[in-house]
């Protein structure tokens, strides 16, 4: 375009023109940090409460000695390790900047203005944000009264315009997981040209044998992609590394949409070391699962309705009492994650933190009308 075809200065916008798709995007609300008193705990982001294992930390520190170099763009050592660990072909694997980063790439690859993306609601708060950024339209299907995905309604919500469906299993923030028979029936109903993303960020915390491993379901279903992360059970939330397992051409689309060198060398090394230290890490996960049972049983004993969680958090549907409960927890020394007017998600943390939660919940019940 030549200079003469530009609009007169007076009619031009006063700042850079941004895509209208960005208007009204809710800001991602990170879990609030722990309070500053000694013995203040953060139970608001589903993080692993344990510090990195010594071997993992050593690998990360050693990799930091190469910070002047770009990382391996292909993440070859990590992909080799993942391919062996999960028995999937190298070509079906793609790593990214956390599994949220990979989810965003999946949207870039599949959806734009006029397209529809289906997910349950309430579910992971990143879904509406990254869907809106893509320009596609969110189709939210309410959870059932039992806090489960309504897979029948989700299958019915599929239209000609549907491009991607997120299935969060177990669901964040309710913790409830979908069983194999229900998930298979759903996958059988979804058209082959719609990508189904099984977000399994909490897979390592699942103990109910009826809950399928997405990697078993993806193998003979070219439209299924599994997302996993090193942020939760593996305790590397601060390093931003997650991965997808998907057939071609989805895996190839992920390679095309990746931020070049997005996963740092430190993250790659720590992830490899984590996979090699899996027994020690999974022993920690067992401890957290035992704590989850203790917290859930303690809350149930107090009279709370706690949906059965297969993740590292529990959900209390507090409705109007949500903010007051979160404030009471903060006061007592544990920061939790409120969803205004709906409920509170509480991560399972150190025993001491969980004890504070249980004491606070009991005192709260004594003073408030709650379900």
Positions that interact with ligand PLP (CB under 6 A)? 46, 98-100, 124, 168, 172, 199, 201, 229, 231-232, 237, 242
Residue 46 C-beta: closest distance to ligand PLP, Å: 6
Separation CA 204–CA 120 (nearest Å)? 22
In whole angstroms, how close is the CB of 202 to ligand PLP at the nearest point? 7
By beta-carbon proximity to ligand PLP, the closer residue of 31 and 222 is: 31
- DSSP-H helix ranges across 162-315: 180-189, 214-218, 250-257, 265-276, 278-302
Q: Which is nearer to ligand PLP, 229 or 322 (CB)?
A: 229
Rg (the chain; Cα; Å):
22
- Strand 137-142 and strand 116-121: the pairing is parallel
**Signed CA dihedral, 127, 35, 229, 240: sign only:** positive
Choice between 56 and 370, CB closer to ligand PLP: 56
Beta pairing partners, 226: 198, 245
Nearer to ligand PLP, 98 or 265 (CB): 98
Q: Residue 159: phi, psi to the nearest 5?
A: -125, 180
Pick 228 or 317: Cβ nearer ligand PLP: 228
Q: Nearest approach, Cβ of 310 to ligand PLP (angstroms)?
A: 12
Closest CA to 161 of 205, 194, 204: 194
Helix axes 322-332, 351-367, angle to 10 degrees: 130
Q: Which residue has the tokens 């309430």?
A: 122
CB of 47 to ligand PLP, least distance (A): 9
Kindly tell me which of 47 and 115 has the beta carbon lying closer to ligand PLP: 47
CB of 320 to ligand PLP, least distance (A): 25
Name the nearest CA neighbour of 47 among 241, 231, 292, 271: 231
**Cβ proximity to ligand PLP, 259 vs 363, nearer residue:** 259
Give the whole-angstrom CA distance, residue 177 versus residue 210.
9
Min CB(144)–ligand PLP separation in Å: 18
Cβ closer to ligand PLP: 99 or 354? Answer: 99
Closest distance to ligand PLP from the beta carbon of 10 (Å) = 45
The Cα–Cα gap between 224 and 309 comes to 24
- Least spacing, CB of residue 168 vs ligand PLP, in Å: 5
- Minimal distance in Å, beta carbon 315 to ligand PLP? 12
Beta bridge partners of 337: 345
Which DSSP letter does residue 28 get?
A: P
Q: C-alpha 121: how far from its chain's center?
A: 14
- Residue (123 or 322) nearer to ligand PLP, CB: 123
CA dist., res. 8 & res. 361, Å (int): 63
Q: Quick one: which of 177, 163, 184 has its CA closest to 115?
A: 163
The residues, ordered by sequence, that sit 6+ positions from 268 with a Cβ below 8 Å of its Cβ are: 63, 71, 72, 75, 77, 78, 95, 241
Looking at the Cβ atoms of 200 and 370, the one nearer to ligand PLP is 200
Which residues, 6+ apart, have CB-to-CB distance to 175 below 8 Å?
A: 147, 307, 308, 309, 310, 311, 313, 314, 315
Which residue has the closest beta carbon to ligand PLP?
98
CB of 125 vs ligand PLP, minimal distance in Å: 9
């Amino acid at each position: 375009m030549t200079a003469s075809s530009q609009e007169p200065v007076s009619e031009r916008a006063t700042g850079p023109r941004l895509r209208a798709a960005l208007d009204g995007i809710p800001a991602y609300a990170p879990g609030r940090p722990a309070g500053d008193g000694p013995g203040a705990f953060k139970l608001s982001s589903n993080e692993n409460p344990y510090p990195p294992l010594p071997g993992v930390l050593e690998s990360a520190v050693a990799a930091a000695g190469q910070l002047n170099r770009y990382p391996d763009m292909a993440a070859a050592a990590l992909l080799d390790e993942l391919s062996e660990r999960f028995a999937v072909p190298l070509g079906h694997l793609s790593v990214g900047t956390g599994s949220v980063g990979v989810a965003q790439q999946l949207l870039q690859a599949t959806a734009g203005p006029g397209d529809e993306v289906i997910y349950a609601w309430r579910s992971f708060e990143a879904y509406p944000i990254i869907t809106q950024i893509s320009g596609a339209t969110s189709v939210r299907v309410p959870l059932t009264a039992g806090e489960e995905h309504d897979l029948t309604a989700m299958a019915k919500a599929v239209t000609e315009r549907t491009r991607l469906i997120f299935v969060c299993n177990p669901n964040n923030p309710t913790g409830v997981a979908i069983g194999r028979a229900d998930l298979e029936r759903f996958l059988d109903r979804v058209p082959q040209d719609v990508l189904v993303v099984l977000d399994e960020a909490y897979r390592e915390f699942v103990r109910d044998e009826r809950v399928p491993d997405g990697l078993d379901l993806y193998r003979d279903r070219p439209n299924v992609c599994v997302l996993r992360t090193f942020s939760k059970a593996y305790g590397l939330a601060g390093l931003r590394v997650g991965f997808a397992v998907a057939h071609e051409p989805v895996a190839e689309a992920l390679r095309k949409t990746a931020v070049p060198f997005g996963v740092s060398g430190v993250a790659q090394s720590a992830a490899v070391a984590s996979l090699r230290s899996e027994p020690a890490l999974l022993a920690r996960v067992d401890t957290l699962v035992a704590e989850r049972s203790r917290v859930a049983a303690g809350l149930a004993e107090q009279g709370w309705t706690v949906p059965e969680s297969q993740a590292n958090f529990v959900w209390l549907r507090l409705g109007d009492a949500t903010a007051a409960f979160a404030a009471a927890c903060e006061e007592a020394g544990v920061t939790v994650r409120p969803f205004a007017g709906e409920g509170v998600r509480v991560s399972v943390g150190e025993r001491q933190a969980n004890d504070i939660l249980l004491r606070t919940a009991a005192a709260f019940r004594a003073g408030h009308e709650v379900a």
